[in-house]
Structure 1
């Protein structure tokens, strides 16, 4: 179990780092959006590339932070119901949810998105809008984001099992602190 908990800690650290890097993507998205709006209204100049960059950045934040959100336990939950049960029952419900709902969905999307990205990359797919951007970087975000989410699911599963087997005090307890 010690090796699995180390793996869990590594996955947590990767998603924590990516989540903190994504904070900067939010800032970049705000700056791009603001500059684009000012230029469009002040100088009556517009570019599809800037508009597409805005949604690329939004997609990056959303997709790359799914695992980070799961790590932070800030995903959608049924706490109003689960709060009435013991921590052990909550851990079993989490395990069930990860195995029956999260893994099949995230693995399916990961599997289906890889050929879509690969085709876009090989054909150097471009936006159909005039002056638009290449599409494969945005399409790459889908499998990367769902890989990170799936990996975090593995980490959370390890932590719940460790809790149930007495190798960990709390299922949501952090293995190490980040500052």
Structure 2
């Protein structure tokens, strides 16, 4: 009972939670609502760290519902915002700290991207194997393993290619961003100076990159859990309502494929959607911090600590057309 009472304060299960954000704006004012939630985030973070079992012990149905509620809640948004603001304030005072955050976030994006980029090679090898087994050996199944083998229908392996492609798209997106591999239309950007570019970059990360990542997260979070548990949680559910639903809570992991013997772990696509949103949000923070530091320190800091993959001179000549290699 004490644990449940403490969690009530953490997740704000009171009448105000039944109000929409618009109602909160109307009743208490936007500024009061904003700073009230921001100050409360100090307590929420402390309570979450002090009582991890209250939302991470998934053997407890109520703890699982608290986790589902918290992941898409206003409280979670302000907890993340508070952490970002504290890190930013420290970074504004000590630029070395902010550079360390940038290097850490970009390094994480590079590490994840470089690992899961191998899924592209796996797709090619798997497709070759499918063609050989299906067209040449006329096999209906493929078995992998030594001793205990993993056997699935060829249609299962063929549909799994979609998942491997999703791994590359979602988990290598921020890596491609750090590497400068995304297409950019530089109608204005290429014609302005260094400091103006950094201002545009900061504006873009705050107004476009991070807000879109938040929207994708909010959609993907409940989209994921609706395919993992029943009764289905909803973004409009209050904590009290989810606590009532927890009495009938049970796991109901989606295992339906497009074909009878096809790939049956489509819930993993929903997991990747949430991971994609989180990675883009973190990279938006890193991009804002980098842009600010490069704006403050001048042109000599452009590309500072930027870890980009570079082909060796011989590899460049092999990869580029002959006339470009001569240039």
Choose the corresponding residue for 2:254, options 125, 146, 152.
125
The structure that has the greater radius of gyration is 2
- Partners of 1:107 and 1:150 within 8 A in 2: yes
- 1:114: Cα distance to partner? 1.2
- Partners of 2:171 and 2:275 within 8 A in 1: yes
Alignment length, in residue pairs? 179
- 1:56: Cα distance to partner? 0.1
The change in CA–CA distance for 1:59 and 1:31 in structure 2 (over 3 A counts) is same
Equivalent residue runs for 1:129-168 within 5 Å: 129-132=259-262, 133-166=264-297
1:93-115 Cα distance to aligned partner (Å, 9 max, x none): 11122112111111111121011
What TM-score do you get using the length of structure 2 for normalisation? 0.51
Work out the CA distance in 2 between the residues paired with 1:104 and 1:48.
39
The change in CA–CA distance for 1:81 and 1:92 in structure 2 (over 3 A counts) is same
Deviates most, 3-12 or 161-170: 161-170
The reply to whether residue 6 of structure 1 matches residue 100 of structure 2 is yes
- 1:21: Cα distance to partner? 0.5
Choose the corresponding residue for 2:131, options 23, 32, 37.
37
What TM-score do you get using the length of structure 1 for normalisation? 0.89
- Partners of 1:70 and 1:149 within 8 A in 2: no
Report which structure shows greater RCO (CA 8 Å, sep ≥6): 1
- 1:174: Cα distance to partner? 2.8
The reply to whether residue 27 of structure 1 matches residue 121 of structure 2 is yes
- 1:119: Cα distance to partner? 2.4
5+ residue gaps, structure 1: none
The change in CA–CA distance for 1:80 and 1:112 in structure 2 (over 3 A counts) is same
1:34-67 Cα distance to aligned partner (Å, 9 max, x none): 2112222221636331122100000010000111
